[in-house]
């Protein structure tokens, strides 16, 4: 017989293992005590390791290609630059809260992206950072909107973090996090939920806005005393807020602390479209000023074979005949064209003259399925340490700063998985797990067989024999 457990999931965006075990350990006493009660391991993120798709991958047990999610924006078919924002309704596979709801379990989800408009569940779903300003439909059921606003004094979904107004960012981060966990505790007390999930985006925003101030190894480290201790203060606050929720949790609840990816110092940006232009893959009809977004440049599509997009990785698209409005690459020649492009990318040298370290992936080779309109090439630079800059007109292929606003940090592959609760087999350190294995593991903890379509596998080393996989 499969033992049934109530499950609480605390999702701390962008939390690397080192943040928990060394860098901010002294500021996380309550969370550390919780972690030490059970097992701690590394959670390997997905391709690409970004908030969207990573949380969806985690909770559906499916890879990003199967979900058709390649980032916060996904290109609309038949266009060059029109994008589609992901929504829960657009996910082709159920998340753990959908599966649990269908078998009558009560669920509460706060802030997991993509979460707007919030899906109908057997319980409560509060939307995520994608919620438009002023929206009044950010809770399902919508009848709870006024209650959420009253409890929090005006709920806050995100902060504007790519700005030089860092003092304001710090204040807003603290306020947003207080409101998030105030709401979480309020909702937790409403009933004995079978599944309760909270996602905190503040950790990610802290890292992007303040990493260079608290990391002496950052290539642009700034010991500015105004911001040097923002990380300490934020993690002090987060630990208090999370600890106050944990104080409400009984011994019958299994607690998972997870993150979607890790964080590391940003070394700089590689100008992917400038590189494509310099190599003859992308052609402009006329020069453009430094920092010009590609969509505002006068692109000669009749002579352009490929273009790219910026972000934590480079998305490279071929200008394919029959797919793009002015495509020139014949589909039959696309594999050979991609081979040539890949070979040139692998030879990219960094500012020091050494190979930058370019990792390439083709969606058809890394995903179980490919939905939507993925990039033809996924490109990572220097083990994610370099961002991709999509803007044009720069005098160099390398930028010290992000081209779309201040950003001190980039992502890394390794997040965390900590688990403690009744009947768990593992204690202490556990081996690395895949992010898509979290979803089926949650269902198995709840005594619910994971759907046969779910590609992730139960993390067997974490569970006792009574939680064995029955598929």
Alpha helices for 247-313 (secondary structure H): 272-278
Q: What is the DSSP letter of 463?
A: B
The residues with which 274 forms a beta bridge, in sequence order, are none
Model pLDDT for residues 362-412, shown as the tens digit of each residue: 999 999 999 999 999 999 999 999 999 999 999 999 999 999 899 999 999
Do the beta carbons of residue 455 and residue 106 sit within 8 Å? Answer: no
- Rounded Cα distance between 438 and 316, Å, is 30
Domains and CATH numbers, the chain: 6-265+412-467 (3.40.720.10), 268-406 (no CATH)
**Residue of 246, 249, 159 whose CA lies nearest to 207:** 159
What φ, ψ does residue 299 adopt, rounded to 5°? -80, 135
How far apart are alpha carbons 124 and 186 in whole angstroms?
A: 12
**Beta bridge partners of residue 41, listed in sequence order:** 417
Torsion of CA 23, 29, 33, 35, to 10 degrees: -30
Rounded Cα–Cα distance for residues 325 and 413 (Å)? 35
Q: Comparing C-alpha atoms, which of 341, 411, 345 is closest to residue 383?
A: 411
Cross-strand partners of 399: 269
Rounded CA separation 366/356 (Å): 22
Pair 13, 201: CB distance under 8 Å: yes
Q: Has this prediction a pTM greater than 0.75? A: yes
Q: Is 214 helix (H, G, I), strand (E, B) or coil?
A: helix
Q: Tell me how far apart the alpha carbons of residues 296 and 334 are, in angstroms, rounded to a whole number.
A: 26
Strands 433-434 and 39-44: parallel
Q: Which of 148, 165, 74 is nearest to 110 (CA)?
A: 148
Predicted confidence pLDDT, tens digits, the chain (471 residues): 446 889 999 999 999 999 999 999 999 999 999 999 999 999 999 999 999 999 999 999 999 999 999 999 899 999 999 999 999 999 999 999 999 999 999 999 999 999 999 999 999 999 999 999 999 999 999 999 999 999 999 999 999 999 999 999 999 999 999 999 999 999 999 999 999 999 999 999 999 999 999 999 999 999 999 999 999 999 999 999 999 999 999 999 999 999 999 999 999 999 999 999 999 999 999 999 999 999 999 999 999 999 999 999 999 999 999 999 999 999 999 999 999 999 999 999 999 999 999 999 999 999 999 999 999 999 999 999 999 999 999 999 999 999 989 999 999 999 999 999 987 887 888 888 999 999 999 999 999 999 999 999 999 888 854 444 333
User: Which residues, in sequence order, are CB contacts of 364 under 8 Å at separation 6+?
Assistant: 370
Predicted pLDDT at 467? 46
Tokens of 184: 């979480």
Block residue for tokens 């370290």: 357
What pLDDT, on the 0 to 100 scale, is given for residue 3? 64
- Rounded Cα distance between 321 and 304, Å, is 11
Of the candidates 157, 165, 234, 243, the one whose C-alpha atom is nearest the C-alpha of residue 203 is 234
Indicate the pairing of strand 195-200 with strand 6-12. parallel
Helices (H), 224-333: 230-246, 272-278
Q: CA–CA distance from 173 to each of 49, 217, 257 (Å)?
A: 23, 24, 20
Distance CA 207, CA 323 (A): 38
Residue 167 and residue 231: Cα distance in Å, rounded? 13
pLDDT in tens, 429-448: 888 899 999 999 999 999 99
User: How confident is the model at residue 427, as a pLDDT?
Assistant: 84
């Amino acid at each position: 017989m499969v033992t049934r457990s109530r499950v609480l999931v605390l999702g701390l965006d962008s939390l690397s293992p080192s943040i928990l075990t060394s860098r901010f350990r002294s500021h996380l006493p309550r969370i550390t005590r919780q972690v030490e009660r059970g097992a701690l391991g590394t959670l390997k993120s997905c391709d690409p390791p970004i908030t969207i798709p990573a949380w969806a991958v985690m909770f559906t047990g499916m890879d990003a290609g199967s979900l058709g999610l390649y980032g916060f924006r996904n290109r609309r078919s038949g266009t060059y630059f029109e994008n589609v924002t992901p929504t829960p309704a657009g996910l082709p596979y159920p998340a753990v809260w959908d599966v649990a709801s269908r078998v009558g379990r009560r669920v509460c989800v706060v802030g997991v992206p993509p979460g707007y408009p919030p899906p109908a569940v057997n319980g409560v779903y509060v939307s995520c950072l994608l919620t438009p300003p002023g929206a009044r439909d950010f809770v399902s059921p919508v009848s709870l909107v006024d209650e959420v606003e009253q409890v929090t004094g005006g709920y806050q979904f995100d902060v504007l973090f790519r700005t030089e107004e860092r003092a304001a960012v710090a204040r807003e981060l603290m306020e947003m996090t207080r409101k998030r966990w105030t709401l979480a505790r309020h909702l937790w007390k409403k009933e004995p939920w079978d599944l309760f999930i909270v996602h905190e985006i503040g950790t990610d925003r802290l890292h992007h806005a303040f990493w260079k101030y608290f990391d002496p190894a950052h290539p642009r480290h700034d010991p500015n005393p105004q911001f040097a201790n923002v990380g300490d203060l934020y993690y002090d606050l987060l630990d208090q807020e999370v600890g106050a929720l944990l104080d409400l949790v009984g011994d019958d609840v299994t607690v998972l602390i997870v993150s979607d990816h890790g964080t590391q110092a940003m070394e700089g940006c590689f100008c992917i479209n400038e590189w494509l232009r310099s190599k003859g893959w992308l052609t402009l009809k006329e020069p453009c000023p430094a920092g010009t977004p590609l969509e505002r440049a006068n692109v000669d599509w009749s002579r352009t074979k490929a273009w790219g997009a910026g972000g934590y990785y480079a998305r490279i698209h071929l200008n394919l005949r029959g797919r793009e409005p002015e495509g020139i690459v014949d589909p039959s020649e696309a594999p050979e064209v991609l081979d040539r492009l890949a070979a040139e990318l692998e030879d990219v040298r960094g500012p020091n003259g050494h190979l930058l370290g370019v990792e390439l992936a083709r969606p058809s080779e890394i995903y179980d399925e490919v939905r939507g309109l993925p990039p033809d090439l996924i490109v990572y630079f220097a083990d994610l340490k370099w961002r991709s800059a999509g803007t044009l007109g720069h005098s160099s292929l390398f930028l010290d700063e992000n081209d779309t606003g201040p950003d001190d940090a980039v992502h890394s592959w390794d997040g965390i998985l900590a688990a403690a609760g009744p009947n768990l087999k593992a204690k202490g350190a556990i081996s690395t797990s895949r992010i898509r294995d979290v979803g089926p593991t949650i269902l198995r903890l709840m005594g619910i067989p994971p759907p046969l379509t779910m590609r992730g596998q139960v993390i067997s080393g974490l569970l006792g024999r009574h939680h064995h996989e029955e598929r």
